[in-house]
């Protein structure tokens, strides 16, 4: 009997509110590269002061040689032509180290209005954008209409280094899981317990099989907020909003809860982890030392 392939366990670090500050970004990027974390992960949050992730990742790529560069991209409201070009060129500039998750945004009325997508089916927008981006990245000449944008025999070049440049999706609801099954290369969950993540993984796999697709076993991940010490009540209440799960299943406090939660997600078939500190009182060096001690040992 042949041995089963070893699942690739990878550890990424995310920042909830990385400022547009060159020195602070350099500290984070250099610290991750030095400690051999797999990925820096930045989120696209258009309505906050957090740094624009594609610009920040371009800067990060110039400071690193092995660190992967991941981002959640809010797709609704963007011109897919420009998005496809930006992502293809960023993948070339970083030598094929770009990781992507397409997201619908937080869905607040003010964000929807600011992005011009009030009353829009955001999942359908993502579906259409995925199809257009993939066509352009494959070198196709595209003729299509998309939300007022008219593309007549349009090409995008040069293509990404990665063939294919994968697109992951997030979301725990039925529509998001169904879209992941039919259109994504992987799934990046958030605010899910190990039991919920396992059920969602199995739902995606079944939906993909029904659609005649296959998603790699090690293409399932989760974003985990955590803290080294107890958080203020208001902060924890915000993290646990709209879930009745045990706090240790969502936001582990201290090394024992963190390692226990990672292991339970591994047992549920989740192998990619984006660790997001909820407090940075001591700066990035102390935070990364903590994660290097307790999270990096899981990485293979």
Q: Which domains does the chain have, with CATH numbers?
A: 10-298 (3.20.20.30)
Of the pLDDT bands very low, low, confident and very high (cuts 50, 70, 90), residue 1 is very low
The residue with tokens 């954008």 is 129
Residue 59, pLDDT > 90, answer yes
Cα–Cα distance list, 196 to 177, 205, 258 (Å): 12, 14, 17
Residue-level length of the chain: 300
Tokens of 83: 């998005």
Mean pLDDT value across residues 45-50: 89
Q: Which helix (H) or strand (E) holds 10?
A: strand 10-14
For 54-71, what is the mean pLDDT?
A: 96
Token pair in block for residue 38: 């797999």
Identify the pLDDT of residue 4: 55
| Residue 187 in this model has a pLDDT that exceeds 70 | yes
- Span 178-190, average pLDDT: 97
Lowest mean pLDDT among 14-28, 142-156, 178-192: 14-28
Instruction: Name the 3-class secondary structure at 14.
Output: strand
The model's pTM: 0.94
Percent of the chain exceeding pLDDT 90 equals 82
**pLDDT value of position 147:** 83
């Amino acid at each position: 009997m042949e041995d089963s392939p070893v699942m690739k366990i990878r550890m990424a670090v995310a920042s909830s509110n990385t400022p547009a500050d060159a020195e602070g970004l350099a500290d984070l990027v250099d610290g991750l590269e030095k400690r051999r974390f797999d990925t820096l992960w930045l989120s696209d949050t258009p309505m906050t002061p957090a740094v624009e992730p594609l610009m920040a990742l371009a800067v990060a790529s110039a400071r690193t040689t092995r660190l992967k560069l991941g981002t959640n991209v809010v797709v609704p409201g963007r011109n897919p032509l420009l998005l496809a070009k930006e992502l293809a060129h960023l993948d070339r500039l970083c030598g094929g180290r770009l990781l992507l998750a397409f997201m619908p945004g937080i869905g607040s009325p003010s964000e929807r209005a600011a992005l011009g997508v009030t009353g829009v089916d955001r999942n359908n927008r993502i579906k259409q954008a995925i199809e257009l981006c993939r066509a352009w990245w494959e070198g196709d000449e595209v003729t299509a209409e998309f939300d007022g944008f008219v593309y007549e025999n349009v090409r995008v070049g040069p293509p990404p280094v990665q063939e294919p440049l994968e697109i992951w999706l997030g979301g725990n609801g039925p529509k998001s899981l169904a879209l992941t099954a039919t259109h994504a290369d992987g799934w990046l969950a958030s605010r899910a317990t190990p039991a919920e993540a396992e059920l969602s993984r199995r739902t995606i796999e079944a939906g993909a099989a029904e659609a005649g697709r296959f998603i790699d076993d090690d293409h399932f991940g989760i974003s985990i907020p955590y803290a080294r010490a107890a958080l203020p009540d208001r902060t924890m209440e915000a993290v646990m909003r709209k879930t009745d799960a045990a706090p240790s299943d969502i936001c582990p406090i201290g090394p024992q809860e963190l390692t226990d939660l990672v292991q339970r997600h591994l047992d549920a078939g989740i192998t990619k982890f984006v660790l997001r500190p909820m407090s940075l009182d001591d700066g990035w060096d102390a935070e990364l030392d903590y994660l290097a001690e307790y999270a990096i040992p899981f990485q293979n």
